[in-house]
Amino acid sequence: MQKESIIKEVAARFRTERLRLGLSQYDVALLCSVTSRSVISWENGVKMPAHHLAQLARHGFDVKFVLTAVKTEDEPRPNAADPYKAVKIVEVFDALNEHQQIALLAAAEEKLRINELVRRVNQLQELLNEKTAKL
């Protein structure tokens, strides 16, 4: 996957997460102590410092989703359960060089696609089992 494509996808998921929480760009700017222009830049694919993601995680942002496209729907929110874990994930990600970050994001997206394929295969298997049982 191309670097620009991954960056744009992360930026789009950041915006999606902001909207899910009902926050304006100004709200996010206040939470991160930056200008609204910075938030607009992040949503347009400009690299976002990890400490801002860590700050947003404390306010309910699903950082795992923003970085990997994997939602934590079934897991407690980082701010409610374990803010240290979310902060640590962001710190580790930020410590990686740009190529490592891109590789990690690409691997996470590939894992997500594989998980979706496995889910679909399992659904088909269940359907096949149901049809076979009726015969």
Q: Supply the mean pLDDT for the chain.
A: 83
C-alpha of 34 from chain center:
21
pTM across the whole model: 0.56
CA dihedral 94, 96, 97, 103 (to 10 degrees): -110
Q: Is the dihedral of CA 19, 24, 64, 83 positive or negative?
A: negative
Q: Are 4 and 103 in contact (CB under 8 A)?
A: no
d(CA 93, CA 15): 19
38: closest CA among 64, 11, 57, 62?
A: 11
**What pLDDT sits at residue 1?**
54
**φ and ψ at 55, to 5 degrees?**
-65, -45
pLDDT tens-digit map of 13-22: 999 999 998 9
pLDDT classification of 88: cutoffs 50, 70, 90: confident
* HSE-up of residue 97 (Cα within 13 Å, Cβ side): 1
As a whole number, mean pLDDT of residues 92-112 equals 85
